Chain A
């Protein structure tokens, strides 16, 4: 929970008096309050430096180490203080968080060390206050990048690690995308590069006139016509290689449709197509004109170099993102050209033998003048024409010079902005996800508390699960408050899955929905368990296994590792579970290797195995869902005795 909410709980509970006249059922009894010692000053000894603070200050954030019962582990009864063997300088910031509600980031400390301290004390890095957040993020990013670079360098030295058993296709694709992974790939990379260069040079050279021996009249011929066979062979070889490369890439691509649509493949196609078209076009006069045009497309082979050059790709991308500025430049130039062309045309209209035969003809003059080229093939002869001509050339400089710096600055701005925006977007998603996680934590804590038999009137509470007993006073009171609300409205809190199932059951005409639908669950550590007890298990308990998987901060990692463990034998449909409960039970009896976790069901006698449960280090403040790896020694799981226990 967020800022200092624990302070307001007594008031929220007091306000519950307002529900009393409406409640149709009797409200539950209040949780037994241990003789409250009132507010007292706690001493926290961090590596010899003593910090003193009110107990209430620490209780403000019950889901952290200092605010929950976890700090009892560090209590030294002899000296009556809490001893932490950690950095006292960092602790100052942590304690200030409790006092002020804002977590500040120390500027002179290593960001990694700060992170570690936060993790130890149970503070999420998202709690860093706005004043220090930017700097914290930047430093963390820097650090991460530096570490990543080091790792990469290490890895490159060791050689590429290929996942075992990857198919030829995957290896081929890897070779194409990262030529540095193997020598063969590198060789291929350079060979294709070489042939691209050869092809382009050939295209260029075949148009150079070369004087051969005087076999023919001394008219210079382009080399292409002099040595047609040689050039044809070279062209064929290049095209063969390009075609082979293209087909190989097509074969290796993980998603062929996407590959076909990508720019690079289009360039490849355009580069080799003219050759094939040329092969099939008969050499007659009509079509050869078109054929010659096609040869122009051969120059696009030069764009194949962009696979080999990162810089070209970046340039292409930035051009694309600067399209609007370029468009503006073009538009303003067009406007100016039209205006001046019109003016020049009418100014020169009277002259005989003028070059300015029409306005479009004047376009050429305007462009050449405005870009200060001044070829001199068209010059005005009238005085008016010359005046306007000079105005044209002066304004040309302005019109071009003005947008260009804007475009240049836009380039750099957009380029850097894109980079930063992507990163920020990714961070935002993570931040929101974490907040949602924390929020769902409190929601699920209550649901799990219910399932753990906390609401049973088991009187002495000895049979209650340890995890129920270990909740802090804050949790107890908060859950009591929520329970009161339930009783007032005669409805209970559930989670999303159960709710949608209930809705489904209602719509299906009240089909017995006791069994769980494994198929509808996301496969996670919890779903393994649901197939264990199809009939007896209450829906909610099983749902909780999924939801609690997301709750406690400590067991997050443990549960994550479990996600890789063996899953339930087969996704079973609801009807199959309804029909053959014994079969499914048998299935699970076979799965003996190990069980990832087990669910708790709130049938009173089922709570006995809990005695052996180690009290979770996370305390109940963190919805003590705990996971234990145990091999199923017993041949068959009792449907009732299924618990979630901790590693």
Chain B
């Protein structure tokens, strides 16, 4: 009995293949057209024939865009921001949903996604430690050879500046409302949000 169960389990493991929902459903759920979804899916399917991306593959892929430094930490945080259901693998729907927000979403949605990225433990608040981790991960991507030379406390300074700007009531944590408010006050950020509109 146990033997046959084990065999079936093994079979299932090797043949796990995730198929996304239908094209129409995805089109309704996201802001992409059918053609765009087709293009996206063809690329995705080719890279991950099984239909899911796991964290290792994700890290490798992301690292290829930043050959100078070490992108694995930031990729880790990104992965968890994409993996909304925290299952450890990103399916095509998650992928496309996130892209839809980032590329075609409203300002509010984009900022909320960013807040979710910074909030590592997903408790609804960003504290200094989480921000330090994120900023350190970003600086890691720059690598060793930068101009001017990266100093030890550059990330810390960056985090302090950030908190000064974002933390309205100076209580050491940034809530979603504070974050949204501060970002909307900053022209640079607002302008830059439009940058990535036509990425596809």
A residues apposed to B, CB below 8 Å: 1-5, 7-27, 29-30, 33, 38-39, 54, 56, 60, 99, 101, 439, 442-443, 477-478, 481-482, 484-486, 488-489, 491-496, 498-499, 502-503, 506, 540
Contacts and interface: CB of A to CB of B under 8 A. Distances in A.
Interface stretch (B6-14, B19-27, B141-149): B141-149
B16 interface: no
Nearest to A9: B65
B95 interface: yes
Contact of B200 (A1, A10, A443): A10
Contact of A493 (B43, B145, B198): B145
B137 to A, nearest CB: 10
A21 B135 CA distance: 11
Interface in B134-166: 134-135, 138-139, 141-150, 154, 158, 161-162, 166
Chain A CB within 10 Å — which of B78, B144, B200 has the most? B200
B164 to A, nearest CB: 11
Nearest to B95: A11
A30 B194 CA distance: 9
Given A14-B99, A14-B199, A23 B47 contact: no
Contacts of B95: 11
B192 A27 contact: yes
20 contacts: A3-B47, A10-B103, A10-B200, A15-B102, A16-B196, A18-B113, A20-B193, A22-B162, A25-B188, A33-B198, A39-B38, A39-B39, A442-B67, A485-B138, A491-B150, A492-B147, A493-B68, A494-B146, A494-B147, A540-B147
A493 B142 contact: yes
- Majority-rule SS of A interface residues: helix
A481 B141 CA distance: 12
Nearest to A478: B65
Interface in B55-75: 61-62, 64-68
Interface of B: 35, 38-39, 42-44, 46-47, 61-62, 64-68, 78, 81, 95, 98-99, 102-103, 110-111, 113-114, 117-118, 134-135, 138-139, 141-150, 154, 158, 161-162, 166, 179, 182-183, 188-189, 191-193, 195-200
Contacts of B195: 27, 29-30, 484
Contact of B64 (A1, A26, A503, A540): A1
A4 B65 CA distance: 12
A311 B84 CA distance: 70
B26 to A, nearest CB: 16
Nearest to B159: A22
Contacts of B200: 10
B198 A56 contact: no
Chain B CB within 10 Å — which of A20, A33, A482, A492 has the most? A20
A15 B78 contact: yes
A4 B43 contact: yes
Given A38-B35, A494-B147, A499-B147, A4 B199 contact: no
B162 A13 contact: no
Chain A CB within 10 Å — which of B35, B99, B147, B192 has the most? B192
Contact of A12 (B44, B62, B166): B62
What 9 A-B pairs come out closest when comparing CB atoms?
A: A7-B43, A14-B102, A499-B145, A491-B146, A27-B192, A494-B147, A26-B188, A18-B117, A492-B147
A521 to B, nearest CB: 16
B149 A499 contact: yes
Contacts of B111: 21
A489 B143 CA distance: 12
A16 B144 CA distance: 21
B35 A39 contact: yes
A585 to B, nearest CB: 26
Contacts of B65: 5, 8-9, 12, 478, 481-482
Nearest to B53: A8
Contacts of B192: 20, 23, 26-27
A349 B38 CA distance: 98
A344 to B, nearest CB: 60
Nearest to B45: A7
A19 B35 contact: no
B43 A485 contact: no
A8 B147 contact: no
Contacts of A23: 188-189, 192
A101 B200 CA distance: 23
Given A8-B62, A11-B95, A22-B138, 12 more contacts: A1-B64, A2-B64, A7-B47, A14-B102, A18-B118, A22-B134, A26-B188, A30-B199, A60-B46, A442-B67, A491-B142, A491-B154
Contacts of B197: 30
Contacts of A499: 144-147, 149
B27 to A, nearest CB: 16
B92 to A, nearest CB: 12
Contacts of A493: 68, 142-143, 145-147
Chain A CB within 10 Å — which of B42, B141, B145, B183 has the most? B145
B46 A4 contact: yes
Given A15-B102, A17-B193, A22-B138, A5 B146 contact: no
B88 to A, nearest CB: 18
Contacts of A478: 65
B138 A503 contact: no
Contacts of B193: 17, 20
Given A24-B161, A38-B39, A478-B65, A489 B142 contact: yes
Nearest to A24: B161
Contact of B147 (A4, A29, A491): A491
A26 B187 CA distance: 9
